[in-house]
Amino acid sequence: MAKRTRQWRLTALGLILAVANAGTDSYYAPTDTSLPFDFKSDASFDEYLETTKAYLSAHREFIRPNRKQAELELVMPFELRPADSCDGRSRGVLLVHGILDTPYTMRDIAEVLNGKCFLVRSLLLPGHGTRAGDLLTVTAEEWLAAVDYGVRSLKSDSDDVYIGGYSLGGLLAAHAAITEPEVRAALLFAPALDVTYPFLAQQSSWLRHLKEWLDKNPAPLPVRYQSMSTNAVAQIVKLVGQYDDRVGDGFDKPAFVVVTDVDIAVDSDKIVDEFIERFDHPLSRMEIYGDAGVELDGRMNQHESYLPEQRILNIAHMGIPYRDDDRYFGRDGAYRDCGQYLPIIPNSEVAACQRNDDNWRGELDSTEDEDYLPLQRLTYNPHFEETMQRMLRFIAAVENTNGEAQ
């Protein structure tokens, strides 16, 4: 895959070493009550939704206090039931969002699957949807327990169970696919099977006791945090290690994996190697945006990430799960990421990006070429529709009794 510039290394180092003072503002302090739901219970998904809504209503730090109900609907876990016209064997899929995100992240993918008669459910991971401070105390075990509950609840309502996830959610989905015999296949979007610059990330296991935040910023949108706690990184690193132990010599379930060759969060090179070496099911498929950097086998597809007619330099990690018309992250969405949260992006470049309407878009800091600067982060996926069609063909192949890939 295309090599990252030296600036990527500086970015990762800057995020680890950036000074962030522990604030007293309630948004950056943990909620003072326990988790609202016992994920070890056999409660129905409706009960889970009801309990979570009550908890969010009481403990969420609302970005727009005059629109609380609208915010709740955006960040709530959700269920999409198949249309009455659907018949035959019931299929269910659990979708898991990434770090800092909420179930909103999985909405576009959920609607595609629901349109093909899937019962779709998406969880709100512990530590999310309330206030950034809850990332100071959340644990990997709580995330795993939430996903375990989601799979159990789906098994009781579906004949066939699938699981999917984005980033951290992809890592958690991979865990579930390995450990749950009933999971038929996994849909993994930029899964955090390995993190960028793991040596630096691994320092978070002790650094979290000295430094609460790697970066601490106000939330510009209701659907995600913009602050990363050191503890959250430590929990992800812990899960990566557990995944390596659990997967052993091979990931034996069919998996649909999507990666981009420039990624600020996950190590795409290692994920490609992981797919080749350990994702050994013949029906597994990988979609790569950009330069794979390896010889492709028959299960891998490579897609152009440089789209000059759209002023797209490359595909960014953050944009993978979103349509180009998403209200927040689409081409004309409300959110604009110009690197204002990265310590080494010059203020002048940030200001120019925020001022311009015709920026090139890509993964931040992925180029030093002045022709593409200022660079705005690409927060949607120009290949979304094509990728969804390939995902549906993968599912059809899994369900084909002959086991033939289509």
pLDDT on residue 205: 75
- pLDDT mean across residues, the chain: 89
Chain segment 95-126, per-residue pLDDT in tens: 999 999 999 999 999 999 999 999 999 999 99
14 pLDDT above the threshold of 80: no
Task: Using the predicted structure, report yes or no on whether residue 287 has a pLDDT greater than 50.
Answer: yes
- Say yes or no to pLDDT of 10 above 60: no
Looking at residue 151, its pLDDT comes to 97
Residue 179 tokens read as 């450990």
pLDDT of residue 23: 40
**Distance set, CA 249 to CA 10, 206, 284, 345 (Å):** 34, 30, 16, 41
User: Of 394 and 9, which is predicted with more confidence?
Assistant: 394
User: What is the rounded average pLDDT of the residues 366-385?
Assistant: 95
pLDDT in tens, 154-168: 999 999 999 999 999
User: 198 falls in which pLDDT band (50, 70, 90)?
Assistant: low
Average pLDDT over residues 382-386: 98
- pLDDT tens digits along 325-363: 999 999 999 999 998 877 778 889 999 999 999 999 999
304 SS3 class: coil
Segment 365-382 mean pLDDT: 94
The pTM assigned to this predicted structure is: 0.92
Percent of the chain clearing pLDDT 70 (strictly above) = 91
Name the architecture of domain 8-31+39-304+383-399. 3-Layer(aba) Sandwich (3.40)
- Of 205 and 225, the structure prediction assigns the larger pLDDT to 225
Question: What share of residues in the chain are helix, strand, coil (percent, to 5)?
Answer: 40, 15, 45
Per-residue pLDDT at 201: 67
**Is the confidence at residue 22, as pLDDT, over 60?**
no
Query: What pLDDT sits at residue 234?
Result: 93
Residue 16 has pLDDT above 60, yes or no: no
CA nearest 386: which of 312, 292, 323? Answer: 323
Delimit the domains of the chain by residue range. Answer: 8-31+39-304+383-399
pLDDT of residue 25: 82
Provide the percentage of residues in the chain whose pLDDT is more than 90. 74
Residue 138 in this model has a pLDDT that exceeds 70: yes
The two three-digit tokens of residue 13, written as one number: 């180092």
Res 220: pLDDT: 84
In the predicted model, is pLDDT for residue 395 greater than 60?
A: yes
Cα 406 to Cα 109, 197, 280, 387, 402: the distances in Å are 20, 36, 18, 14, 11
Given this model, what pLDDT does residue 371 score? 94
Beta-sheet pairing, 118-123 with 78-80? antiparallel
- In angstroms, the CA 250 to CA 318 distance is 28
